[in-house]
Structure 1
Amino acid sequence: MSCSNCCHSTPVHISSEYRKALWIAFGLNFAMFFVEILISITSRSTSLLSDSLDFFGDSANYLISLYVLPMALIHRAKASLVKGVTMGGFGMFILFTTIYRWFYGEIPHYSQMSIVGSLALLTNLVAMWVLYRFREGDSNMRGVWLCTRNDAMGNLVVILAGVVVYFTQSKYPDLVVAFILSFLAIQASKAIILQALGELK
């Protein structure tokens, strides 16, 4: 039997606890996705749009992680590849959307940006709290943690962007934050894919 099928498997008691943490994180993220996608449309905020896609991507990632949790490492690594490519796709979508809105976008509503950003930050802090003890592990577990951590970082800069938009009455702080979020997504995607490829060797 190959090592990929027998080694580095998640202990039963950790699997049970990790499963509960994933379900909590999934519920929080899926609910927040609907809130942010609606507000990003009414507020015309690209950074909120980016953050809403992060929440949707994280929700899908949590479900994938729940599905492959009892499987061998090779299957979890393959799932990580899917998650890494998806995360990179979201990052590229936001990058091109931001470039477009740099030339044709409007000034977003700063109050909605800051209020929803604060709610999103609280959501991700709770998710980080339940997932913190599982931040180290295979590429699948690491990918879950990186997604959650990046979202919390993104929420902070969205809130800051809302404040800067208020004082400057400019669309550019929102777009700069969107650039940062797309960069974080692409970087995390690269890290997850490289670790998953290493586990598949």
Structure 2
Amino acid sequence: MNTAGREPDEAAVVGNPGAGETVQDPARVRALRATVLTVAVLNLAYMVVEIAVALSIRSVALVADSVDFFEDFAVNLLIFIALGWTLSKRAAVGKAMAVIIVLPALAALVMAVAKMGDPEPPAAGVLLWTAVGAVVVNLVCVLLLSRFRADGGSLTRAAWLAARNDLIAGVVLIALAGATALTASGWADIIVGLLLVVLNGSAAKEVWEAATEESLAAKALAGDIDDD
């Protein structure tokens, strides 16, 4: 049977809807907003650095990673904007996050295929120091977001997953620099680009599933789902 209900807004609920809501502390909301805005700015700044370096040394993996930084910037900026929205709108934004996460995977795939015809190796030393910088930035972002991982449902999950994946990618890029120096081949760069496709695809799937659960929870709270 359907029961009439009113969907709670972001100011009333925190955590994963449907898994037990709790009253949200306004101070925590402000802290979350400040955190995601800080993470967005950090990602935008390093994206500019990384894309410039990537294009100069023609690294497929580094270009894909720079797009990941843009992805993180977009995700966190949208979270900053959407925190005051209702659960159903927040779930819709969560699904948009999943689509955004897929974009760098597609970019990496296209670049990897294009480079297969001419697997020129990128400059290993430049790649190494750029990767180290990426790891530092992403580690800071992961630490900042970790205490809010359970807040905001699919939105903050998207941000944390994106930062985690970029941290993993940064470590892989450091290994890539070593492999490139040892082999003097561009194939390692291509392989890492393809690995980023898989990593981002997995994150997109997780975020989409979390947003779907959030959408169903919003409908249940609004009385749009039969309970018999």
Q: d(CA) in 1 for partners of 2:202 and 2:117?
A: 25
Q: Tell me, what secondary structure is at the counterpart of 1:103?
A: coil
Q: What corresponds to 1:100 in structure 2?
A: 114
Q: Tell me, what secondary structure is at the counterpart of 2:66?
A: helix
Question: Which range moves more in the overlay, 92-101 or 151-160?
Answer: 92-101
Q: What corresponds to 2:35 in structure 1?
A: 21
Amino acid at match of 1:180: L
Q: What corresponds to 1:179 in structure 2?
A: 194
User: Taking structure 1 as reference, are residues 19 and 154 closer, same or farther at Cα in structure 2, changes over 3 Å only?
Assistant: same
Question: Which range moves more in the overlay, 125-134 or 29-38?
Answer: 125-134
Cα distance per residue 1:105-162 (max 9 Å; x no partner): 3211111111000001100111111111012240111111000000000000001100
Q: d(CA) in 2 for partners of 1:54 and 1:4?
A: 34
Q: Tell me, what secondary structure is at the counterpart of 2:53?
A: helix
Matched, 1:122 2:136: yes
Q: Is the CA contact 1:5–1:74 (under 8 Å) kept in the aligned structure 2?
A: no
**RMSD of aligned C-alpha atoms?**
1.6
Q: What corresponds to 2:219 in structure 1?
A: none
1:164 to 159, 174, 179: 179
Q: d(CA) in 1 for partners of 2:6 and 2:178?
A: 52
Cα distance per residue 1:23-78 (max 9 Å; x no partner): 21111100000001100001111111011000011101111000001112211111
- TM-score w.r.t. length of structure 1: 0.94
Q: What corresponds to 1:9 in structure 2?
A: 13
- TM-score w.r.t. length of structure 2: 0.84
Q: Tell me, what secondary structure is at the counterpart of 2:146?
A: helix
- Note the C-alpha offset of 1:3: 6.5
Q: Is the CA contact 1:37–1:49 (under 8 Å) kept in the aligned structure 2?
A: yes
Q: d(CA) in 2 for partners of 1:183 and 1:104?
A: 23
Superposition misfits of 4+ residues, deviation over 3 angstroms:
1-8
Q: Is the CA contact 1:9–1:72 (under 8 Å) kept in the aligned structure 2?
A: no
Aligned residues: 201
- Note the C-alpha offset of 1:102: 1.9
Q: Tell me, what secondary structure is at the counterpart of 1:197?
A: helix
Q: Is the CA contact 2:60–2:112 (under 8 Å) kept in the aligned structure 1?
A: yes
Q: What corresponds to 1:144 in structure 2?
A: 159
Matched, 1:67 2:81: yes
